[in-house]
Structure 1
Amino acid sequence: MFNTTRLVTLLIIGLVNWGYAQPSLQEKLPVDEKVKIGQLDNGLTYYIRENKKPENKLELRLVLKAGSILENEKQLGLAHFIEHMCFNGTKNFEKNELVDYLESIGIKFGADLNAYTSFDETVFMLPIPTDKEEYIENGFQILEDWAHNVSFEHEEIDKERGVVEEEWRLRRGAQQRMRDQYFPVLLKGSRYAQRLPIGKMEVIRNFPYEEVKTFYRDWYRPDLMAVIAVGDWDLAKIEEKIKQHFGRIAGPENPKKRTYYDIPDNEGTLVSIATDKEASITQVQLIYKHEQNKTKTVADFRRNLVHSLYNSMISARFTELSKSAKPPFLGGGSYYGNMLADKNAYQGFATIKEGELEKGLKALVRENERVKQHGFTNSELERTKKQLLVSYERSFKERDKAFSGSYLSQYMNHFLKESPIPGIAYQYETVKNLLPTIQLEEINALPKKWMTEQNRVLIVTAPEKEKAHLPDETQLLKLIEEVEKENITPYEDKLTATALMEATPKAGKVLSEKVYERIDVKEITLSNGIKVVLKATDFKNDQISFSAFSQGGTSLSEDDNYQSAVYANTLVREGGVKDFSPIDLRKLLAGKVVGVAPYINTLEEGISGNASPKDLETALQLVHLYFTAPRKDQESAQSFINKYKAYLKNALVDPQAYYNDQLAKLMSQNHPRGGGYPTVEDLDKINLDKAITFYQERFADASDFTFFFVGNLDESTLIPLVETYLGSLPNLKRQETWKDEGIRPPKGVISQEYKKGKEEKSTVRLMFTGKAPYSREAARDMQALGEILTIRLTESLREEKSGVYGAGAGGGLSKRPYENYSFSVSFGCAPENVDELVAATFIEMKKLQKEGPSAEDLEKVKKAWIRQWKENLKKNGYWMGVLQSAYRNAFNPESVLDYEKNLKKVTAKSVKKAAKRYFNFKNYVQAVLKPEQEQ
């Protein structure tokens, strides 16, 4: 019988495709019509786009085609230093007025207001609320001031020298020291090797005031600048503001030439072997450098699709290899992409067990040679095409729900690198047309083109103790040559199953319903006892998020089975479900948008996941299988344990890891379940059978689980699926809860000093803990206390004393496993400044106890909270968190709508009271990390 419905469908598809005729490969890629690009007479470029999500917010960026690469020898670090100075006084905002003003309208320094400096660019980020004309005007004035009106007061320059040095200090460690060894090899003959943005501290400490002003005058100029404005405001008004503020900036009369530097080619293979006492793991990188190609035409776009397909397929191969019974490395991969400056690169990397460098390097080269000799298979390509197409399809479906921030990097890259911005509608249609034309042969030809004997760099980084046993340069190159001559067997792509479940389980049914009308949330109870909470939203077109929890967790495990219980969830995720390994699941679910992950933590077990509405049934099938059919796989379990042991072997040589481990033990009074890094002996206690049994026990009874679904829900579709796949889960009618494991922090005043590492830097943490009754009001007061103290410490420790790059404070209250609070302050600094900065911290804390917060600081915090709350109300993730918290802590979720009203209860008096209650100077821990040998 002829199917008339199918004929109509085909006609519709045909008409749609006729509307998007396949473009010629030589055709230039268009510019998205929804972005307006202009240029002022002085050379400044601007990008503007009107976008309604989030509401009442405009994202501004000032982008400069200048960075550390343009510094002369007297200026090393000054491009980055200027970025700092832009926040320390301009023509219209003296000293710290700029940050103070922005915080007063709800913009957080660091979280919202920020900037970065790289080799070739500097970018300033400024989100501005649009609910008042004054905010918008001042936002553009700030951007203009950064462009040409920075004050550079000498006193402020001298203060900022210390702040920048503390930023440099924070970054120091084994990875940075080894990078300093191999960068001159990787970038041999290039200016990039000597122009790291952080610069040199002897320059930062001593440069003359005029030197930083010279760099600013030379390179902060309109012909090298772009202003990007995307958000909820009228496009014409945005353009008017840009012309008003930036049109009056005069360009220099004799501008310095903006030189673009390259990375020279190299003959043969360059090798760097870098070791460090504090390196915890051996790593290898094999890099093949190539000239970078611009993307201007449809042919270029198609080329990038080919590269994306290759990268996805080689990544899948490496993932599969790393999960084998005896993996040759802890992790590895290869990909082709941007490197730096004028270079792309085909890069291979592997993290390798101690003493197995030769084995790991050979495996890395062998897997790439396997593709070079035999290529990929048709089945791999078809799966990957499906997955790539669905990623573009999702972006296309969400095109009217995209947040303004999602466009910013696109426009920045268009300005900085001439990257295309054709828009997602064009991209999606073009991808649909081009993917069928991409053949396996052209992908399989790429490794021969990419893996060349010239322009190659081999980098090995390793713990210093391995140095004597590492192969030398000649031996390493010989290892690569040996593998290249091997006759390598082809890859076999195995998967026979076509469905997750052969039979549909017997469905349960909905017994009752409850509605929270104010927030449009429905709670249903299924016949097996499961509660399901539904929140339909229109925030995303192609997203459903879900989660579930039940009380219990590893707290219910016996001591002799604790390690097996802790890793039960991990071993199940490594093993898969039913007859499917994780590799099988990835292949089976290609082209579907599904993610499901079970978890077991200390007090709970549960599930989290997401799906496209069309793939929700598949996701719920996976949920059902994770409850009823976890897969036990001895090989994958042993693979995980062996890799983790190898990682742990040297983990604690890293000073920060050692410090965190010791701190966890201190704060739990060495409780065996108190946290910190596990030992190899701990991992030896894991028994797969016991782990699977514990997992099954935690998920054996679904009756006490609560599920949450948030997103683009259609109840007529969702409820039958929930009845089928959740309503059919087992019901043992158990009454379970978590158990208090008895972990408690120490009492009294404890000052502990740890010595580890050779860098002249310290980490300081102050921790205040104790019993305290839980209430949501008290929790809000503590949150305010943390944010206000952070503001105070930024002013005191950073701006006044120049002693830290940043300081953070915060805490919380908990009802489980007992009512308690914890509050901490942390910062990094020079070892010799620890005592002074701790004393200054205590002064600020005691001021809050005596005086409470200023009205200005409290108002800053509240405004930021309210702005964030209003934005969050349009996010699925926020609603998921609200509903979970309400059901965990037994409060009415409708109270989320009373947030602004309830904030009125947070007063200077209540925060002062919180400071008195939680800052107990007779009961705290001071833990300081210092270098092993202080200078």
Structure 2
Amino acid sequence: MTVLRVRISTLGLLAGLLAVARLATAQTQLPGRETSAESVASYALSQPMPFDPEALVGTLPNGLRYYVRANGKPVHRAELRLVVKAGSVLEDEDQRGLAHFVEHMEFEGTQHFPGQSIPDFLSSLGLSIGADANAATSYDDTQYTLRVPTRVPGVLDRALVILEDWAQGASFDQRGIDRERGVVLSEWRMNLGAGARTQEKIRRALLQGSRYADRAPIGDPAVIERAQREALVRFYHDWYRPDLMAVIVVGDIDRDAAVTMIREHFSSLSSPSPERPRPAFDVLDHAGTRYTFVTDKETTSTVVQLSDLRPARNQGSVGGYRDIIVDQLFAAMFGARLDELAQSANAPFLRAGADRGLFPTPRTKDEAVLQALVSNDGVTRGLEALVTELQRVMQFGFTASELARAKQAMMLGYERVVTESPDRESSSRADEYTRNFLQGEALPTIWQELAFHRRFLPQITLGEVNARTADWFPDRNRLIVVSAPETAGITLPTEAQLAAVVKTASAKRLQPYVDAAAGETLLPTPPSRGTITKTTVRADTGVTEWTLSNGATVVLKPTTFKEDQILFRATAPGGTSLASDDDFIPALVAGAVVPAGGAGAFSSVMLDKILSGKAVAVSPFINELDEGMAGGSTPQDLETMFQLLYLRFTQPRADSAAFAAMASQARALLANQMASPDVVFNQTIEAALSSNNPRRQAETPSMVDQWSLAKSMAFYKARFADASNFTFVFVGSFTLDAIKPLVETYLASLPATHAHEKWKDLGIIPPATVVEKTIEQGIAPKSEVAIVFSGSFDYDAAHRLALRTMTMLLQGRLFDTIRQELGGTYSIIATPDTTRFPRPEYTVRIEWTCDPARTEALVHRVFQEIEVVKATRFDASQMARVRETLLREFEANSQENRYVLEQISQAYADGSASDLAAVLNVPDQIQALTSDAIQQAAQTYLDTAKYVRVMLMPAGGSGARAALRRGGPTPD
């Protein structure tokens, strides 16, 4: 269970509660769907939580556990999981990294799916490895996921055969082992950045003295390089056994039929004899506080963290569930105080947060965490502030108004989740069953969870929550970690100095926190209502278009995809392209620094308090060629969302303290960015693609000196001064009758100048020749490569689909060769993009990480495969498979409000609104797609006479220069 930061408007509160009440009344006859506190009043705190009666859960005679549930989201799909309580902590010394290696080998041939039969089976259904079939190894478990269509006869049964083979039918073919060894090492290499190194050192400090400290799932590359088949098979034989397994099937299925299939496929699984006992490991307790300092030459930020481990609560009991609620209230209130402090003038940290939950490794512990992102010289000040604020709660507690706000947010959040329950995705339910199997998390229905919240929240007192303060960070099992860049000019405090800070801050006599009243409404008096002057109904798309009295255009698409979601996007042409060179930097940051000041009469802190418990988001943006706002709400919160939208347009608020805090954050975050090879790599790509145009320059600390709140505010106001230039698109759960008065009140009343400004063409064009750059930076033994093709584009739906399809097929080809055949990388990605303005252009970006010694050969092979794709024509059966893949993708996307919003918004922004029906009719576009169109796209858009290639090599020099000389397209 997690804290739900959901916001419900005062204006819509009564309607929301009545809707939930009606829902509860209508469903009281169904087991587990009563939501009153009385329905769960009989449960003692010592009792286990109730179990969802709609889930079929059982255990086979061999010990295998299964979970089966029918769920209609997404339609015609099922999510399957094989969960094994075996991970890296169980590895013998000669197996370090082989739990993960075994996971990879499950896709390299099994009893019923030899060789590459699993990818072939998926491909026949329009599915792929990664998106539809994947796996992950952790310390204590390994999880396999398979997503399949259910309306194709026999597919669910066949998919269960794959799970059966994963359980005990892996082949461990020697050729597959040798091939996959390179892939596993590439995955290890891909994660060799500063972040991974820092987290590894922190993990070792947390797990000091435990077996977990020496059993990272990625393993030891030396062991992986020389691992023999016997060691892999030994791990698989010892630990892949039914008493350590669960099979999960959730989706658009017949529950009873699925259970029958599980019994047929998994009852014959057996455990080895003799059976190796499955040991349990823990983290040792320690007295007092330990300190750890973690520095890295490529780290870009400084963080101070307090962590405390204690025995985990019983997640399956009623009392444990109640304890979690109390801790979540504490975390929500304490986190809100830290948020407020971070936005103050001369704030002691840039950002901070608090949390408590089950420790992932091992799950025998809970962990409480306080963490602050600080400036390079702000470690002691940040730590002092964290301890001081904790001490403030210790001395005075929270206030009654803070607790009331946190309770309201939590309650309204669960009421919203009940409303959304019919729209819950199968993957979410499968995650829940996975947690039940691995960590004993309770499995009540969401209606029962709401009932328990209605029972417990009124009972939880301010004194009870305040009493948790001492339990969060006692002076035992406590670890204080400082992670920072390793560079000249940064001097970290010593352990003794940090201990002195903690001691001094803990002894302070403080003043109580004052919870300033925030008010109840954003707009006590609504603006004068405008009118709708024109209505256009596009019956073939279900879209209605209104023209307002101020000239604004409103586009509405009601849907039934989710009962509790309404999304919107408002855009107008212009953006930072209209800023002068002198004002460009303040214009660039205006979309961030102005909203940070709040809106109307309210600071950002006050807005957070007013909107607490409401599901409302309105986020302004100012891009290079356009500006606008985006966000959403629930139906109950719709008026609050419109009010905030109105205020963001008409009453932006200048807050010098918030501006200073944001500037301080920016300086600190930018100070060390050039130490990161990844940052330098991406900035080099962007500079090459823009021909080093100053409008695309990377942000630096010196640029923050050019910030100006006055200039940012002036530019922001100018960009949002003309409502007649905006198109507002709304998609989701609303009716035209319900939204009409809100549109008339809050949108038709927006001021309009009728200037109808347009963007300015800045003349930024991609290079028309080959540009090759090599960066030598970084200590990790890995290289990163990006090849970007770009140029002019025939911008219409047919060409966009051809480009996207060609890129999808290119990525599949590169996956088959660079990863599967050569074992050269863990992941290689090809991504297309198109833009309509200021001129129609496209990009195709290919990226991968690899062994520096193989960079030259892999670059050469990538260009060879590009030529193969350009020469390929697909026959009728191959085109049928391509179309099936595209149709399945569209079927899933078309049921999402966000996708529909993006398509409609893009059509209006591109000037294609008059042809909206054709734009939205993707199935017809797919059926019209031909092999010739795909081949033509490859030949046109993969032009090896003009591309940008950037390579990041480790610091050293010779290898990078040799690769640059010898890499590139295959000679004719």
Name the TM-score class by shorter chain: over 0.9
Partner residue of 1:260 out of 280, 284, 307: 280
Corresponding residue of 2:304: 284
Corresponding residue of 1:214: 234
Q: How does 1:236-385 map to 2 (within 5 A)?
A: 236-339=256-359, 340-341=361-362, 342-385=364-407
1:768 equivalenced with 2:785 (yes/no): no
Corresponding residue of 1:828: 849
CA contact (8 A) 1:598 1:606 kept: yes
Q: How far apart are the structure 2 equivalents of 1:556 and 1:467?
A: 40
Change (3 A) 1:854 1:370: farther
Partner residue of 2:934 out of 904, 911, 915: 911
CA contact (8 A) 1:787 1:861 kept: no
Corresponding residue of 2:5: none
CA contact (8 A) 2:37 2:452 kept: no
TM-score of the aligned structures, taking structure 1 as reference length? 0.97
- Alpha-carbon deviation of 1:488? 2.2
The amino acid that maps onto 2:945 is K
1:497 equivalenced with 2:519 (yes/no): yes
CA contact (8 A) 1:278 1:757 kept: yes
Q: How far apart are the structure 2 equivalents of 1:845 and 1:11?
A: 59
Q: How far apart are the structure 2 equivalents of 1:131 and 1:194?
A: 46
- Alpha-carbon deviation of 1:170? 0.6
1:724 equivalenced with 2:737 (yes/no): no
Partner residue of 1:189 out of 185, 204, 209: 209
CA contact (8 A) 2:288 2:475 kept: yes
How many residues align structurally? 929
Change (3 A) 1:277 1:17: closer
The amino acid that maps onto 1:795 is D
Corresponding residue of 2:900: 879
1:880 counterpart SS class: helix
Q: Deviations over 1:596-616 (max 9, x none)?
A: 111111111111111111211
1:750 equivalenced with 2:771 (yes/no): yes
- Alpha-carbon deviation of 1:297? 2.7
1:874 counterpart SS class: coil
1:476 equivalenced with 2:495 (yes/no): no
Corresponding residue of 2:84: 64
CA contact (8 A) 2:350 2:375 kept: yes
1:263 counterpart SS class: coil
- Alpha-carbon deviation of 1:590? 2.2
CA contact (8 A) 2:550 2:750 kept: yes
- Alpha-carbon deviation of 1:747? 2.5
- Alpha-carbon deviation of 1:897? 5.5
CA contact (8 A) 2:688 2:771 kept: no
Q: Structure 1 stretch 152-161 or stretch 678-687: which is displaced more?
A: 678-687
1:463 equivalenced with 2:485 (yes/no): yes
Corresponding residue of 1:680: 701
Corresponding residue of 1:851: 872
Q: How far apart are the structure 1 equivalents of 2:532 and 2:726?
A: 15
The amino acid that maps onto 1:502 is P
CA contact (8 A) 1:332 1:350 kept: yes
Partner residue of 2:140 out of 120, 123, 126: 120
Q: Determine which structure has greater relative contact order: mean sequence separation of CA pairs < 8 Å that are 6+ residues apart, divided by chain length.
A: 2
Corresponding residue of 1:809: 830
CA contact (8 A) 2:870 2:938 kept: yes
Change (3 A) 1:819 1:714: closer
1:636 counterpart SS class: helix
Q: How far apart are the structure 2 equivalents of 1:284 and 1:11?
A: 46
TM-score of the aligned structures, taking structure 2 as reference length? 0.93
Q: RMSD of the TM alignment (CA)?
A: 2.0
Partner residue of 1:932 out of 955, 967, 970: 955
Change (3 A) 1:404 1:11: closer
Q: How far apart are the structure 1 equivalents of 2:905 and 2:637?
A: 23
CA contact (8 A) 2:571 2:627 kept: yes
Change (3 A) 1:178 1:542: closer
The amino acid that maps onto 2:948 is V
1:133 counterpart SS class: coil
Corresponding residue of 1:162: 182
Change (3 A) 1:11 1:328: closer
Q: How does 1:649-728 map to 2 (within 5 A)?
A: 649-675=671-697, 677-728=698-749
1:744 counterpart SS class: coil
CA contact (8 A) 1:327 1:639 kept: yes
1:406 equivalenced with 2:428 (yes/no): yes
The amino acid that maps onto 1:524 is W
1:437 counterpart SS class: coil
Corresponding residue of 1:893: 916
1:509 equivalenced with 2:519 (yes/no): no
Change (3 A) 1:296 1:819: closer
- Alpha-carbon deviation of 1:328? 0.9
Partner residue of 1:22 out of 41, 65, 76: 41
Q: How far apart are the structure 2 equivalents of 1:901 and 1:851?
A: 24
- Alpha-carbon deviation of 1:908? 2.1
Corresponding residue of 2:94: 74
Structure 1, gaps ≥5 residues long: none
CA contact (8 A) 1:554 1:600 kept: yes
Q: How far apart are the structure 1 equivalents of 2:878 and 2:188?
A: 29
1:398 counterpart SS class: helix
1:512 counterpart SS class: strand
Q: How far apart are the structure 2 equivalents of 1:432 and 1:210?
A: 56
CA contact (8 A) 2:38 2:455 kept: no
CA contact (8 A) 1:295 1:420 kept: yes
- Alpha-carbon deviation of 1:450? 2.4
Corresponding residue of 2:611: 589
Corresponding residue of 1:736: 757
CA contact (8 A) 1:53 1:403 kept: yes
CA contact (8 A) 1:78 1:199 kept: yes
- Alpha-carbon deviation of 1:304? 1.0
Q: How far apart are the structure 1 equivalents of 2:910 and 2:176?
A: 48
1:179 equivalenced with 2:199 (yes/no): yes
1:784 equivalenced with 2:805 (yes/no): yes
Structure 2, gaps ≥5 residues long: 1-13, 29-34, 960-972
CA contact (8 A) 1:104 1:856 kept: no
- Alpha-carbon deviation of 1:931? 0.8
Corresponding residue of 2:642: 620
Corresponding residue of 1:153: 173
Q: How far apart are the structure 2 equivalents of 1:805 and 1:859?
A: 29
Corresponding residue of 1:634: 656
1:199 equivalenced with 2:222 (yes/no): no
- Alpha-carbon deviation of 1:853? 5.1
Corresponding residue of 2:11: none
Corresponding residue of 2:840: 819
Change (3 A) 1:829 1:557: same
CA contact (8 A) 1:314 1:334 kept: yes
CA contact (8 A) 2:37 2:455 kept: no
Q: How does 1:565-584 map to 2 (within 5 A)?
A: 565-584=587-606
Corresponding residue of 2:458: 436
- Alpha-carbon deviation of 1:715? 2.3
Q: Deviations over 1:185-244 (max 9, x none)?
A: 221111110010000001100012111001001111111110000011111111111111
The amino acid that maps onto 2:707 is I
- Alpha-carbon deviation of 1:94? 1.6
- Alpha-carbon deviation of 1:421? 0.6
Q: Structure 1 stretch 704-713 or stretch 148-157: which is displaced more?
A: 704-713
Q: Deviations over 1:806-863 (max 9, x none)?
A: 1111323322111222112111111111110011001111112223457666554432
Q: How far apart are the structure 1 equivalents of 2:221 and 2:352?
A: 35
Partner residue of 2:814 out of 793, 812, 818: 793
Change (3 A) 1:181 1:881: closer
Q: How far apart are the structure 2 equivalents of 1:177 and 1:532?
A: 50
